[in-house]
Every structure is written in C-alpha cells, then in structure tokens.
Amino acid sequence: MDTEFAYWVPNVSGGLVVSDWDTETDWTYDYNLDLARLAESVGFDYALAQARFFGSYGADKQLEALSIANALAAQTDELHVIGAVHPGLWEPGPLANFISTADRISNGRFSINVVSGWFKGEFTGFGQPWLEHDERYARSSEFIEVLKALWTEDRATYDGRFYTIGKDIDGFEGAPLEPKPVQDPYPKVFQGGNSQAAREMAAKHSDVLFINGGSLQEIRAVIDDVEAYAEEFGTEPPRFAANAFVIQRDTEEESKEVLEGIIENATDEAVDAFKEQVKQAGQSSDEGEGMWADSDFEDLVQYNDGFKTGLIGTDEQIVERIRKLDAIGIDIVLAGFLDFEEELERFGETIIPAIDEADPLDPDEVDAVDEIEEVGGAKVAR
C-alpha cells in the first residue's frame, strides 16, 4: 500500500486533547525538534504545525505555526513540513515570499495548510473584520490564487474582491517574487474545512484536503462531493487526508480504558468554550453541515474529532482500519497521540511498515458503512 502518514506537531500547550489526563507531550521547540527527527526516522512523511494565537481548548501557549514549521524543516532531511495560515490574519504577498524562502531552505519540503477560520475572537481580537462562513472561503480561494500567481508568474497581477496585487506600483509592472520556490510548479497547498464551501474550494484550488475524523461513510461523503465538484469544474481533484487520534495498545480493552480516562478527565470549561467557538464553523454555513456540526462534548475532547476515525485498539485493528480508509479514498492519515514521543515511535515502528507491506483492499468489497460504538461517551467508528 502507498498510504502516507502525517502527524500533528504539538506546538501548542495541552497536547492534542482537552483533558487533564497525564501526558508527557510538550509544546516547546526542543521537544518538537526531537519529535520531528524521531518521526522522520520511523517513516512519517509529513508534519503539520497548527496555528493558534489566542488561548483556546486549553492551548494557552502557542509557537507560531510557520516559524516552527520552517525551523523543523531546516533541521530535518526528508520530512515534509506544513505550516497552517489564516487568510485575513496573513497577507498573501509577503507570505508567498516567506514560503518560497522556506521551500528553498528545506530544498522543497515546505507547504501550507490554508485554514479559513472558525475562531472569531482571534480575528476581532486582532482588529480584523469577521466574515460570514462562505465569505471566508471565498477570501481563502483568492488568497491561494494570489500565492500561485506570485510563485509562477514573472510579474504577478491580481484584481479580486479581497486582494489586489501588482497594480499602481511606481516603476513596476506587476508584483515580483524572486527566487521562486523549489517545488514545481509551487509548494503544495493543503486545506482544512469540510463544509460545502470548503469542498468546492478544495476541488478548485487545493492539492490535499484534510478531513476531520469520522466514520467511513462520513469521510466517503466528503470525498464524493469534492470529486463531483472537480468533475463539474474540470479540475484535478485533490488528495485526501483523514484526521485520527491513535490509541495503540496491546489489547482493545486497554485502548478503551485510555480513551475513557481522557474523557473522564476532560477540562470541562475549555471543552464547553471550544464547543461554543466552533459554532462559527460548518454549523454557521447555509447548509449547517461541516466540521463539528454533529460533535458532542465527548467527541470535542479531541478537537478535530479524532476519536471518531477509530484508530483505537491493537496493531491488527489499526492496520485493518487504515486499509479500509485507503479503500474509500484516503491517501494520508494525519495522526495525533497522547504521549507523542513514545506512541509516535511505536506507531512508526509497527503500523507504518505493516501498511507498507499490506495488500490494498478491493474497494468494491469493503463495507463502507461503519457501526458506531460509544466509548466513554465518544463516538468511535468500527
């Protein structure tokens, strides 16, 4: 199988769960540098640094995503590092230069994850206007178009609703950007979001779509919609990545006990605040669907619905689950862990080589309708 693997860079405090359950995961640069080198050595392909500016879901300390992504890329040899950016908080012109520079520093191993934004307070708190849901995706689409123009054109011009570049420059015709990135034709554009607006944007502009955790049928529905939009637009559909929180233990019972412990020790106030904040995500779209639209308190303890994907159990159960994800169209598994160093290493030494050696399942023979089991109140696909 050719499934690729990414991991969440824990560059914010609190790790990947909103819980007071004991964890050795740390947010500091030194910890993350050691983790990146470890991830690279055990076969991970990508590292994704998350962007947070105001404390949310317990993440009261944040290392800025592009900065730490650039630093990790410079200190590794093969790992492809992705930094998250929010249009509206970043301007595409200077950012295009930053990414081109980072791509050269890393010799073609730097990309971005365009996040259209759900945390209203980060925008208004920095004095930026807060746009309605679909307008945020319209802005992100222009943002990507500007980046690509600067990365590929000698003198880029763009005249859109949200961005104008290369106009009225005294002594210049168009906006220059040199040197260009190493990657041809440009650095990969990853994207978050699962609403209909996000699916359309992915079909038009993105190379990879990150899908929140979910059952096979939920994930497949997103893939089907994006592929249908791509056919309508005459574009190449993106590749697809699924978020998953991994609890790999010797027995299924042990893994469930860990999940129950995480949820029992959930930081109630932070989870409730997060639940309120994400109402600005897919729930605020016209169709009322998308990220976190049907997530309960227990699901939100892992803030990208990672429990739902079902990578919770023994080695054999996790391998079989990833084979099913591959069969429905997932190209990349984005993994989060409780204790990153220990669990990422174990995953890399056991699951990744097992997947490399496994035969893919026949998509026509895979039952792509999961049963949903509740563990500690959280929904876990089986």
pLDDT at residue 62 tops 60: yes
pLDDT for the residue 278: 59
What number is the average pLDDT over the span 38-48? 98
> Looking at the 3D structure of the chain, how many domains does it have?
1
Could you tell me how far CA 220 lies from the centroid of its own chain?
17
Spatial distance between the Cα atoms of 231 and 17, rounded to a whole number of angstroms? 37
Q: 56 or 241: whose pLDDT is higher?
A: 241
Residue 284 confidence class, pLDDT cut points 50, 70, 90:
very low
Least reliable range by pLDDT among 30-34, 105-109, 151-155, 191-195: 191-195
- pLDDT tens per residue, range 289-339: 655 566 778 888 887 899 999 999 999 999 999 999 999 999 999 999 999
Distance CA 369, CA 328 (A): 11
Residue 242 CB coordination number (10 Å) = 30
Reported as a single tens digit per residue, the pLDDT across 71-93 is 999 999 999 999 999 999 999 99
Q: Give the C-alpha separation, 330 to 201, whole Å.
A: 18
pLDDT at 280 over 90: no
The pLDDT tens digits of the residues spanning 113-171 come to 999 987 888 889 999 999 999 999 999 999 999 999 999 999 999 999 999 999 877 77
The DSSP annotation for 26-84 comes to: --SHHHHHHHHHHHHHTT--EEEE----S--TT---B--HHHHHHHHHHT-SS-EEEEE
Cα 299 to Cα 7, 376, 382: the distances in Å are: 19, 10, 15
- Host domain of residue 331: 4-381
Residues with Cβ < 8 Å from 333, sequence gap 6 or more?
3, 4, 5, 6, 241, 242, 244, 311, 322, 325
Quick one: tokens of 289? 């669907």
Chain centroid to CA 77:
22
Q: What DSSP designation does 290 have?
A: S
% of residues, the chain, pLDDT over 90: 79
- The helix (run of H) or strand (run of E) holding residue 110 is strand 110-114
* Residues 327, 363 contacting (CB under 8 angstroms): yes
CATH number (domain holding residue 39) = 3.20.20.30
Lowest mean pLDDT, pick from 72-86, 215-229, 235-249, 266-280: 266-280
Distance, CA of 307 to CA of 246 (rounded, Å): 8
Assign residue 67 a region (left: φ > 0; alpha: ψ between -120 and 50; beta: otherwise).
Answer: alpha
Which token pair is 224?
A: 């089907």
